[in-house]
Amino acid sequence: MNETLAFILEWVIKGAVLIAILLTGFAYTTYFERRFLARIQIRVGPNRAGPFGLLQPVADGIKLIFKEEVEPAEAYRFAFLLAPVMTMVPAVVIMAVIPWGDKVVMFGREIALAVTDLNVGVLYLLSIASISVYGIVLAGWSSNNKYAMMGGIRSTAQMISYELALGLSFVPPILLAGSLSMSEIIQGQQSSAWYIVYAPLAAIVCFIALLAEVNRAPFDMVEAEQELVAGYVTEYSGMKFALFFMGEYIKMAAVSAIFATMFLGGFDGPGVDTYAWLGPIYLFLKIFGLLGLMIWIRATLPRLRYDRLMAFGWKVLIPIALLNVFITAALIVGLGI
């Protein structure tokens, strides 16, 4: 009985810690993006609130909380309220299967640094990741705004074009590790090499598809400012808008963590075997680097046209990903990796 209680308590604490980190971390993702983007664009970026502008996210949050919530008169209220939630929740829960480190001993218990180690972790990732697109579609449709609706329609068109390639690009790591569990995929990389070495093509396809997944430039057609004003969030204000924003940035961090886990060894790094606490630090550094890459791409590239993304997804990404699956399978059989 006591053991069960401790088990539940452990889960709750780990879950609460993760959510707390994500909800505060997202704010600093926006800060990081604004500062880094500003450096690239010969600007300064936010530097007024607090030292180095570090309190800027707090100020933004307070502003958004006190903003008036405007709802369009002819919006479908239920879906209008549901949409931000449907974008936000998947972004948070997707992190549950990502291990942040090996087992550590705390309070006399051996605790795994992951909320849960699902044996079908990769499937969980794929299924949760595609839920959030419903939030965008619902937001676009329920706002009763033409620009918002076009954003919503674009997001469906976008999803069907990258989701397949994303799924296929996860296959090589799964084949190499022989498991769908995230922790076993990491163990597989610890014992051999990071899977980006074995499956570089899959890593590239995966990164591109993940960019499309989080609607980041150059795949940000859903909220294309110059075309659709603000896309699906056009009619949202205040905290409802902030929820979309939070969902987007948390998901950015989440997909970086996914990519790091699948191809960059997750929490793996020198010395992590002896000092298990280095795990979360390595994972954080990898996420940080990938976020930087995303911001860099946003600063450099123009936006694709949405029909071009579909053509790119179907005609380029999927064949490459499929081919890569065969190559990896052949290598595994042939060389016995």
Partner 1 sequence: MAQLESIKVTTDEIKHLISNRAVEGETMLLNMGPQHPATHGVLRMLVELDGETVINCIPDIGFLHTGIEKNMEAKTYMKAEVMTDRLDYLNTVGNNLAYVLAVEKLVELDVPERAQVIRVIMTELQRIASHLVWMGTAAMDLAAMTVFLYSFREREDILNILEMVSGQRMMTTYFRPGGVWRDVPEEFEKAVRDFIDIMPARLDEYESLLTENPIFIDRTKGIGVIPKNKALGWGLTGPIARGSGIDYDIRKAHPYTGYENYDFDVPVQKAGDVYARYQVRVEEMRQSLRIIDQALKAFPKGPFRSNNRKFVPPPRAELGTSMEAVIHHFKLWTEGFDAPKGSVYFPVESPRGELGIFLEGDGGPKPYRVHWRTPSFSNLQVLSWLAKGHYVADLIAIIGSIDFVLGDTDR
Q: Could you list the residues that contact partner 1 (CB under 8 A)?
A: 40-43, 146-147, 150, 153-154, 217-218, 220-221, 224-229, 298-308
Q: State in angstroms the smallest separation of the CB of 307 from partner 1.
A: 7
**Rounded CA separation 182/177 (Å):** 9
What element of type H or E holds 78?
Answer: helix 77-93
**Rounded CA separation 323/165 (Å):** 11
Q: State in angstroms the smallest separation of the CB of 229 from partner 1.
A: 6
| Shorter beta-carbon distance to partner 1: residue 275 or 296 | 296
| Shorter beta-carbon distance to partner 1: residue 302 or 336 | 302
The token pair at 106 is 């705390």
Question: Which residues fall within 8 angstroms of residue 298, CB to CB, at 6 or more apart?
Answer: 37, 216, 217, 218, 220
The token pair at 192 is 């051999």
| Shorter beta-carbon distance to partner 1: residue 75 or 217 | 217
Q: State in angstroms the smallest separation of the CB of 126 from partner 1.
A: 27
Cα pseudo-dihedral 219, 220, 226, 228, rounded to 10: 120
Q: State in angstroms the smallest separation of the CB of 73 from partner 1.
A: 10
Q: State in angstroms the smallest separation of the CB of 41 from partner 1.
A: 4
Q: Where are the alpha helices (DSSP H) in 192-305?
A: 195-198, 200-213, 225-228, 238-263, 278-300
Question: Which residues fall within 8 angstroms of residue 70, CB to CB, at 6 or more apart?
Answer: 235, 237, 238
Q: State in angstroms the smallest separation of the CB of 44 from partner 1.
A: 12
Inter-residue contact 130 to 163 (CB < 8 Å):
yes
**Rounded CA separation 329/322 (Å):** 11
| Shorter beta-carbon distance to partner 1: residue 212 or 304 | 304
**At 229, which amino acid appears?**
V
| Shorter beta-carbon distance to partner 1: residue 231 or 279 | 231
| Shorter beta-carbon distance to partner 1: residue 32 or 147 | 147
Q: State in angstroms the smallest separation of the CB of 334 from partner 1.
A: 35
| Shorter beta-carbon distance to partner 1: residue 42 or 105 | 42
